[in-house]
Amino acid sequence: MDLKTRNAIILAPHPRTKKTNTHIVNIIRTTLKKYNAPENLVIGIEEPTLESTNELMKQCDLVVATGGGALVKSAYSSGTPAYGVGQGNSVVVVDETADLKDAANKVMRSKTFDFATSCSTENSLVIQKKIYAEFIACLKGEGGYLLSPEQKAKLQQVMWVDQHLNAKIIAQSVQTIANAAGINIPEDCKFIMVEESQIGPEAPFSGEKLSMVVALFQYDHFQEAIDHVNEITNYHGRGHSCGIHSFNEEHIKQLALATKTSRIMVRQPQCLANSGAWTNGMPMTLTLGCGTWGGNASSSNITWKDLLNITWISSPIEHNMPTDEELFGEIMLKDK
């Protein structure tokens, strides 16, 4: 979207992704050269440091910050106009009207995409009690493996170190994660499920996991589902997104009006829908603003339109300017 708007771009990656960034940048530069376009429209910082990234943000015209809260705060403090993103931790509600097999398939497709590193992937499922057992069976049919309480405790010890998500489990296969925790899972397991009832630091599975692990919650009345979504996103992911598998339009409307989320995907695989798809009309991007709820300037999907400076040309038009009486009639009558 940068080249589409006649912008050059300098990519400053996280140090752990510098080789991948350089590889992709080189592919783009080779393609630009092939079409006789200036290669330096796209530049990658090959040895990124905190100092070089901060200096880049000060000197450029616009910053698009996709990373943790500290990076977004630095971007907003750089003195340069900036778009930031918020933390993901998408919560998806499954109510009693859902097509359970379809919902389970969509959860699996979204949860396993790109090793669940998308900020939009389902981190928690909030499921109506009456259909809970049947839906778990559908999830198992899609390759989900439900941990026992003992296995859950082992996994928690591995996934969080000093109350921080263990970087060694991010973007890893479920077999790698299970082996690290000393848990035996079937070879055909596609994602791991853990049952949860608490929310917050004492229940880290209720937060963002960046791995193919999903937390399962139950609710009775729909207001409880809304409360769960708000509590979970207040812990991690405020303003980002949630979803619902339902054919109850009143439930869908209630979820939209009562949660602090910028995107609500209805009957869709969350991470394949939030960022835009041919099937839903959402603006296509990988930069998802979370609004003031998430400490961002925008709640929109940031697209090429946000990288344009627009010049307005204004000429006189025919008008029907209202009189003072039409504008302030009641007030003027009171004054008399």
Active site residue 271: no
Residue partners of 155: CB distance under 8 A and separation at least 6: 147, 177, 178, 181, 183, 192, 194, 213
* Cα separation values, 147 from 127, 187, 271, Å: 17, 15, 24
Residue partners of 249: CB distance under 8 A and separation at least 6: none
Using only C-alpha atoms, the chain has a radius of gyration, in whole angstroms, of 24
Nearest to 121 by CA among 294, 251, 243, 267: 243
Residue pair 11/27 in contact by the 8 Å Cβ criterion: no
Neighbour count for residue 166 (Cβ, 10 Å): 17
The dihedrals phi and psi of 137, each to the nearest 5 degrees, come to: -60, -40
Set 60, 119, 242, 271: catalytic member? 119
Looking at residue 308, its amino acid is L
Catalytic residue numbers? Answer: 119
